[in-house]
């Protein structure tokens, strides 16, 4: 797959899919049986061509292409997963310190009849939503709200399910003045203190401290085309080479793919996506994520609270170990 052409190909695929939908509508309304048969035959050929093109396009997907897929506008966001996988969700607002943040959503819900606490980054699909959600870049109050929800989960013995999808924490002056680094650190510390099972799923972008602030979990899973890194590729390229346009090169150097994270022991599993990515078949993606959450939750609930806490701490302590020679 060519990085510079990926978005163009996605646009062409979208147009083709619209054409197929229109053809199906014409076939449905067609009264002449002969013409209807011709339309249906054309639809079969179009769908076959689309599927073959998708398989070719998504074979040997490079690191930069995965960044673009992770950012796809139609990719399912946290609230899409909440609607599809959970029941009785009640969103809670505010950090109880006078601030509210819309980049992180959260609240209690039920998962297969089991009470759980949900925390996740939320992106927007248009200009107004993106501004409202601050492009999923949480401010200090977002992480302080998360801490409040973690504490509530601990108090009521509710497993925590996190959905990670952020380019980074908010880098603005106001966030710095209100202690963004302290808020992220406090959120990570609180997650290590929890004795309830915690599961994090990286569903799109896993950017830096903004991601790990709600992902210091017992189990960390990544969707196949999601990414997890210390900085967005363009930011890395701007710092190292003063050339943001070298983002594709930086993406390769950052080792930000699910495969790399798994090989380094940073995550516990990779969840396969449908051909063409989660945005092309959300229903299948929801089923995959639901099965993974249920499986990992069942494993963690066999452990005592002390074992859950100690296992989580030991897992992260192993990261970055080295041997001297």
Q: Is residue 157 part of a domain?
A: yes
Q: Is residue 291 part of a domain?
A: yes
The tokens for 193 are 């203190």
Choose the final residue of a domain: 12, 37, 60. 60
Do 45 and 145 belong together in one domain? no
Q: Is residue 23 part of a domain?
A: yes
Do 96 and 167 belong together in one domain? yes
Question: Are 114 and 85 spatial neighbours (Cβ–Cβ below 8 Å)?
Answer: no
Do 53 and 77 belong together in one domain? no
Give the per-residue pLDDT at 322. Answer: 67
Give the per-residue pLDDT at 10. Answer: 75
Do 118 and 76 belong together in one domain? yes
Do 221 and 255 belong together in one domain? yes
65: phi then psi, degrees, rounded to nearest 5: -60, -35
Do 91 and 17 belong together in one domain? no
Mean pLDDT of the chain: 92
* Residue 230 DSSP one-character state: S
The answer, yes or no, to whether residue 4 has pLDDT greater than 50, is no
pLDDT in tens, 149-185: 999 999 999 999 999 999 999 999 999 999 999 999 9
Q: Which residue range(s) make up the domain with 281?
A: 68-318
Do 28 and 123 belong together in one domain? no
Choose the final residue of a domain: 60, 80, 96. 60
Do 56 and 35 belong together in one domain? yes
Do 158 and 46 belong together in one domain? no
Choose the final residue of a domain: 11, 29, 60. 60
Predicted model pTM: 0.89
Q: Is residue 324 part of a domain?
A: no
Count of domains for the chain: 2
Helix ranges (H only) for the chain are 6-29, 33-57, 63-70, 78-85, 127-132, 140-155, 173-177, 180-193, 208-212, 233-241, 247-254, 258-263, 282-300, 305-318
Q: Tell which wins on pLDDT, 192 or 13.
A: 192
Give how far Cα 89 sits from Cα of 105, 106, 117, 194, 215, Å: 11, 9, 9, 21, 20
Do 73 and 209 belong together in one domain? yes
**pLDDT band at residue 224 using 50, 70 and 90 as cut-offs:** very high
Q: Is residue 325 part of a domain?
A: no
Give the per-residue pLDDT at 287. Answer: 98
Do 258 and 154 belong together in one domain? yes
pLDDT in tens, 16-56: 888 888 888 888 888 888 888 888 888 898 888 888 888 87
């Amino acid at each position: 797959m060519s990085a510079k052409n990926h978005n163009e190909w996605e646009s062409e695929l979208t147009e083709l899919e619209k054409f197929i939908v229109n053809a199906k509508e014409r076939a449905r309304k067609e009264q002449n049986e002969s013409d209807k048969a011709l339309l249906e035959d054309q639809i079969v050929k179009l769908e076959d061509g689309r599927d073959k093109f998708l398989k070719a396009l998504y074979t040997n997907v490079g690191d930069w292409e995965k960044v673009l897929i992770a950012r796809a506008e139609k990719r399912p966001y946290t609230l899409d997963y909440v609607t599809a996988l959970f029941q009785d969700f009640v969103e809670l607002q505010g950090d109880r310190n006078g601030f509210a943040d819309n980049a992180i959503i959260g609240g209690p819900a039920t998962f297969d009849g089991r009470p759980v606490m949900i925390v996740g980054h939320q992106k927007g699909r248009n200009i107004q939503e993106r501004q409202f959600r601050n492009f999923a870049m949480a401010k200090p109050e977002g992480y302080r709200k998360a801490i409040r929800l973690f504490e509530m989960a601990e108090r009521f013995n509710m497993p925590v399910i996190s959905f990670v999808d952020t380019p980074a924490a908010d880098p603005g002056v106001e966030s710095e003045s209100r202690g963004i680094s302290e808020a992220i650190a406090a959120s990570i510390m609180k997650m290590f203190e929890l004795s309830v099972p915690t599961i994090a799923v990286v569903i799109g972008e896993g950017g830096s401290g903004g991601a790990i602030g709600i992902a210091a979990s017992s189990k960390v899973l990544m969707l196949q085309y999601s990414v997890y890194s210390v900085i967005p590729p363009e930011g890395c390229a701007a710092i190292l080479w003063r050339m943001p346009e070298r983002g594709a090169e930086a993406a390769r150097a950052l080792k930000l793919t699910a495969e790399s994270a798994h090989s380094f022991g940073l995550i516990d599993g990779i969840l396969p996506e449908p051909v063409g990515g989660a945005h092309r078949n959300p229903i299948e993606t929801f089923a995959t994520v639901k099965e993974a959450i249920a499986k990992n939750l069942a494993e963690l609930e066999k452990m005592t609270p002390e074992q859950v806490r100690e296992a989580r701490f030991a897992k992260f302590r192993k990261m970055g170990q080295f041997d001297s020679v």
